[in-house]
Amino acid sequence: MKKYILFSTALFMLLVACKTQMENTTQTSNNIQQMPRSLQNNMYAFDVFKILSQENSGNMILSPFSISTALAMTYAGAKEKTADQMQKTLYFNENNESFHKEFSEWKEQILALGSENDQLQSANSLWAQKDFHFVEDYFQLIEQYYQSSLYRVDYKNTDREIIRNEINDWVAGKTNDLIRELIKPGVLVEDTRLVLINAIYFLSQWKIAFDSNSTREDKFYVENDNSVKVPFMYMKDVLNYFENEQMQLLEMEYEGSDFSMVAVLPSESSSIQQLLDETQGEEFWNLLEKMEMQEAEVLFPSFRTRSSFDLEEVLSSMGMPLAFSNKADFSGMTQENDLKIDKVIHEAYIDVNEEGTEAAASTAVVMIRKTSTIDQEPIKVFRADRPFIYFIKENKSNTILFLGKVTDPSKKDG
């Protein structure tokens, strides 16, 4: 049976009335404009992952690539200080047509690599209130640069359960039925005006599969002397590898070699959170440049994880509170500037086994009215028997598509 990886993310934006405004801001590098888009994506990925990791001690998976894509569609409608905050928080360039053109080209280059082996697909959709005063130029820009389908619906007069089921069916169809209920009952309300969805789907086997006959149970140390028995997959081959005093890095490619999983194993004297606190996203990328092909013996646990997050507070604390307040300026979307963000919901799923990976993810934000080479060296041993970080990346630009951690592989969520 062919095993594969499959990810999807939908960003579903809910803008509702809210009286509380947070004034937190965050400092970002002055050279955002000069960064390649892949590094901008990865810097944001580690920023949000670090916060979520602090708040969630267990296994975790998310797709920053999809979140960025959906928020980029939202950013297209942002103006003034709202746009400035989103730019700094998300590591975007200046909000103009040039940015969206460049973002689209970057995204399409990655998707083109995935389409060669039928590994990666992405789709966008907008679900807009049919009689609302949207700026049609906004829809045209989103269609041009994000190839988004536009659905006109009636949140005010139609049974919203019907619309909710239509959106959920769309997401399920783009995630091979792994994310079936992104939008829960009660999320859509009479004042809902726009739902933005991005879905990404990745499907692949390992380039070098683990030998299923060599899988055996062993101890995974959740913390200190506390251990659980889990299946460990085994492989011995020449792989991209790096180690220093803080961590070990191992790269395992998927078929076609355009995508790979990188596992980051903290040293026995360190931890995931300590590693995240001491290492910036840009530093991880510098470490990737130091990886070399070496013979390695790999013991890696199979695991399955499902995660769900509400991201509005995280994004606000990271530096974009205006977008969630009554002072939000989304006048690029609507003539009367009466929309803001209330909810950003993200759900993700992953299943890693001997032959490959299967996964899916969804993120949602709903908009409603404001009124409410091999050296002869000893074989390296990569024994992932304690909590570790992993990410799946596109190899040409090193763009992170999915990012997660394993703290207890015996917990099979989802």
**CA dist., res. 195 & res. 184, Å (int):** 13
**How many CA within 13 A on the CB side of residue 87?**
21
Residue 116, number of CB atoms within 10 A of its CB:
10
pLDDT at 12: 38
SS3 assignment, position 309: strand
Output the 3-class SS for 322-337. Answer: HHHCCCCCCCCCECCC
pLDDT at 101: 96
DSSP state of 227: E
Q: Which amino acid is at 50?
A: K
Q: Which amino acid is at 6?
A: L
pLDDT at 3: 38
> Residue 414's pLDDT band (boundaries 50, 70, 90)?
low
The string of DSSP letters for 64-81 reads HHHHHHHHHHHHTT--HH
- CB-based burial label for 96 (10 Å; 0-12, 13-18, 19+): exposed
**How many CA within 13 A on the CB side of residue 265?**
22
Read off the pLDDT of each residue in 290-299 and give the average, rounded to a whole number.
94
Q: What is the mean pLDDT of the chain?
A: 86
Name the residue with higher pLDDT: 361 or 154.
154
Read off the pLDDT of each residue in 373-383 and give the average, rounded to a whole number.
69
pLDDT at 19: 25
Read off the pLDDT of each residue in 71-79 and give the average, rounded to a whole number.
95
Whether residue 312 is predicted with pLDDT greater than 60 in this model: the reply is: yes
Burial 229-261 (b: 16+ CB within 10 A, else e): ebbbbbbeeebbbbbeeebbbbbbbbbbebbbb
- Angle, helix 97-116 to helix 136-146, in steps of 10 degrees: 30
Whether residue 364 is predicted with pLDDT greater than 60 in this model: the reply is: yes
Determine the number of helices (DSSP H) and then strands (DSSP E) in the chain: 9, 18
Pairing of strands 247-253, 259-266: antiparallel
pLDDT at 116: 82
**CA dist., res. 194 & res. 365, Å (int):** 9
Ordered structural domains, the chain, with CATH: 13-204+304-369 (3.30.497.10), 207-301+375-406 (2.30.39.10)
What tokens were used for 111?
A: 């998707």
**How many CA within 13 A on the CB side of residue 89?**
27
Whether residue 243 is predicted with pLDDT greater than 70 in this model: the reply is: yes
Whether residue 28 is predicted with pLDDT greater than 80 in this model: the reply is: no
> Residue 374's pLDDT band (boundaries 50, 70, 90)?
very low
Q: Tens digit of pLDDT for each residue in 199-242? A: 888 878 999 889 888 999 999 999 877 899 999 999 999 999 99
Q: Tokens 């959740």 map to which residue?
A: 222
**CA dist., res. 113 & res. 120, Å (int):** 8
**CA dist., res. 294 & res. 355, Å (int):** 22
Q: Which amino acid is at 304?
A: R
pLDDT at 148: 95
pLDDT at 1: 36
**CA dist., res. 286 & res. 102, Å (int):** 24
Q: Which amino acid is at 371?
A: T
pLDDT at 224: 73
Whether residue 81 is predicted with pLDDT greater than 90 in this model: the reply is: yes
Q: Tens digit of pLDDT for each residue in 261-291? A: 999 999 988 899 888 888 776 777 788 889 9
Q: Which amino acid is at 376?
A: Q
pTM to 2 decimal places: 0.87
Give the largest Cα separation in the chain, rounded: 72
Whether residue 30 is predicted with pLDDT greater than 60 in this model: the reply is: no
Read off the pLDDT of each residue in 169-184 and give the average, rounded to a whole number.
91
Closest CA to 360 of 142, 73, 121: 121
At residue 93, φ and ψ (nearest 5 deg) are: -85, 180
